[in-house]
Structure 1
Amino acid sequence: MDDAVGDHQSGRDVTGRVVVGGEALVDLVPVPGEHSVDQGGDPALRPLAPRLGGGPFNTAVGLGRLGAPTTMLTRLSTDAFGDALVARLEANDVDTGLLQRGPEPTTLAVVTLDAAGAARYTFHVEGTADRLVADPGELPADTAAVAVGTLSLVLEPGASRYAALAQREAARGRLVSLDPNLRPGLVDDPAALVARLDAVAAVAGLVKFSDEDAERWGRSPQDVLDLGAGAVVLTRGGEGLTAHTRGGGVVEVPADRVGPLVDTIGAGDSVHAALLAWLAHRDALDRDAVARLDAQAWSQALASAARAAAWTVSRAGAEPPWRAELDAAT
């Protein structure tokens, strides 16, 4: 591993900040072990409980729990859900200085689980606060990386604003990390979405996406590298994680496990957070530093991300691990 990265230990203080831009919403999640008696116990009709989530929101919480300086950029409703979202960020050491507020409702995601615990989502997004985010202007001076993705790059007008922000900050030398996390049923203009994702990937130092995202985007990891991305991490569910690097190297690690699978909500977000935290704790939130990572470094980074996902899927809803939980396992 390159000395500029390898000489730093995971326990050191972090100076570079990650600004995470994107949606914060409420997941309506099936209550474990409960069924609707008057509907014949149909698992699709189990009682639902609100849980705070959204891909970028979960990533920010995950980074905060892993000790990486993090700021959330989004627009939140002034309703009770919006207040709860702010409180959760603050409780997890996420800076809220870039939050915008407005009277629009909070986005809702209705979650159903299949027999294996895999989550499927139905979104209620019309006129909601998070898609109306405005350009924040100058980011905090200590910002080293900007992470964008998921619904926020699908739903206009916020999608174009986040994409423009990512391209602007990349031009200023900041690492851009992209997590497309595409959801079926929300894409009105597939060609425009592909063009937007391609443009962000072209300036990104890191792209993290799933095998399902690859199919929906129509891009393989090599395609994304060819667009200009510095490195690509592909998540493959129970098959593990794979890093594809510009030098041609491919590194794989298996999926991890810390307990019985409860559901997969937030697993990919935990991977994204853990990868960025791993880089942050090694002063490697930099496109060139990511490009210099060797196979040993990628194995360590992917193993940390796999363990973070394992903690998350062992708990109901998007509950990423704390740093002490990951450190205890290493």
Structure 2
Amino acid sequence: MIVVAGEALIDLVPQGTGALAPLRPALGGGPYNTAVALGRLGSPTAFCSRVSRDAFGEALLERLRETGVDVSPVQRGPEPTTLAVASVGTDGSAAYSFYVEGTADRLFTAPSTLPVGTRAVSFGTCSLVLEPGASAYEGLLRDSAARGVFTALDPNIRAGLIPAPDAYRTRFKSWLPSVSLLKLSAEDAEWLGGTPREWLAAGPSAVVITQGGDGLTAYTRDGGVYTVPGEQVRVVDTIGAGDTVNAALLHGLAVRNALGDRELATLGPQGWTDLLGFAARAAAVTCSRAGAQPPYAHEVAG
């Protein structure tokens, strides 16, 4: 079982150009997209979050159920669902502005236990920024690592939500001793500062950096550096692509029985090349269609 902890929200995606283009609601949120992608790839998955009881919240949970994701750890509340207004550039890249005041996911409280059979817990995005929930997710990250559970972190920086960047960078560094796998985009890496080697020295067994269409690179604690190119595809937009990579990495490690720091160290060059290639194929499928629509297993087989 892989548990994904973090926010579920609604992306409002423009349908056309101009400031007043119609907005289409789409189910989203980095952790939410990761959970959906894991379910579609076939990994036993649970979602740990706090979701509104409004119509958006019901729709978010319904997709998780349809994908086979266990929603029993989800907390519910009467507050509204977080909204993210997306803007899509000419190259398909997405930027966001957020409506987060008084929303349900901010009031998450850490559970006393995780689902039976939990092998890994994944964290990231807005849920590690917005208080008071951020401290609860942080506590769950540290507690999971202390119990020997494999932990994955995708910071997925949304700079507009971070009022004190230097304080967040310090907090990010404090998480690293509790992280097994750190995945981040090249843009996130630049914003955070530091290098893969510095981050590895602080705790993670591996760091994976995505570079959009240029592919992915993994850095390992034993000095390994493994790179694969991106898959060529006609990009509709990049919404959910990084979340798909996150899910593909976790799914691939689960299939290889490598959800552990010692097991991760045994992958070797071929194992890493195969894993990164799988993640690149999965992300390409997501980029080839509008919105966060990660692939099913049969779409990335081979």
Calculate the TM-score normalised by the size of structure 2: 0.97
Instruction: Identify unmatched segments of 5+ residues in structure 2.
Output: none
Amino acid at match of 1:25: L
Q: Which residue does 2:176 correspond to in 1? A: 201
| Alpha-carbon distance in structure 1 between the residues aligned to 2:247 and 2:208 | 13
Q: Which residue does 1:5 correspond to in 2? A: none
Determine whether 1:276 maps to 2:260: no
Describe the superposition over 1:28-83 as per-residue Cα deviations: whole angstroms up to 9, x where unpaired. 0122xx45xxxxxx3x4321100000000000000000111100000000100000
Q: Which residue does 2:273 correspond to in 1? A: 299
Deviation, 1:206, is 0.4
Q: Which residue does 2:4 correspond to in 1? A: 20
Q: Give SS of 1:200's match.
A: helix
Deviation, 1:325, is 0.7
Larger displacement relative to structure 2 (280-289 or 248-257):
280-289
| Alpha-carbon distance in structure 2 between the residues aligned to 1:68 and 1:124 | 32
Determine whether 1:319 maps to 2:288: no
| Alpha-carbon distance in structure 1 between the residues aligned to 2:166 and 2:234 | 40
Deviation, 1:200, is 2.0
Deviation, 1:203, is 1.8
Amino acid at match of 1:20: V
Q: Which has the larger radius of gyration?
A: 1
Q: Give SS of 1:185's match.
A: helix
Deviation, 1:87, is 0.2
Q: Which residue does 2:14 correspond to in 1? A: 30
Root-mean-square deviation (CA), in Å? 1.1
Instruction: Identify unmatched segments of 5+ residues in structure 1.
Output: 1-16, 36-41
| Alpha-carbon distance in structure 1 between the residues aligned to 2:142 and 2:173 | 11
Report % sequence identity.
Answer: 55
Q: Give SS of 1:252's match.
A: strand
Q: Give SS of 1:95's match.
A: coil
- Aligned to 1:247, which of 213, 222, 229? 222
Q: Which residue does 2:150 correspond to in 1? A: 175
Determine whether 1:184 maps to 2:168: no
Amino acid at match of 2:144: E
Q: Which residue does 1:140 correspond to in 2? A: 115
Q: Which residue does 1:91 correspond to in 2? A: 66
| Alpha-carbon distance in structure 2 between the residues aligned to 1:226 and 1:68 | 30
Describe the superposition over 1:126-171 as per-residue Cα deviations: whole angstroms up to 9, x where unpaired. 1111111011111112001010011111111111111111111111
Larger displacement relative to structure 2 (181-190 or 67-76):
181-190
Describe the superposition over 1:82-135 as per-residue Cα deviations: whole angstroms up to 9, x where unpaired. 000010100111000100000111000000111111101001111111111011
Deviation, 1:246, is 0.5
Calculate the TM-score normalised by the size of structure 1: 0.89
Q: Which has the higher contact order (CA 8 A, sep 6+)?
A: 1
| Alpha-carbon distance in structure 2 between the residues aligned to 1:219 and 1:269 | 22
Larger displacement relative to structure 2 (99-108 or 198-207):
198-207
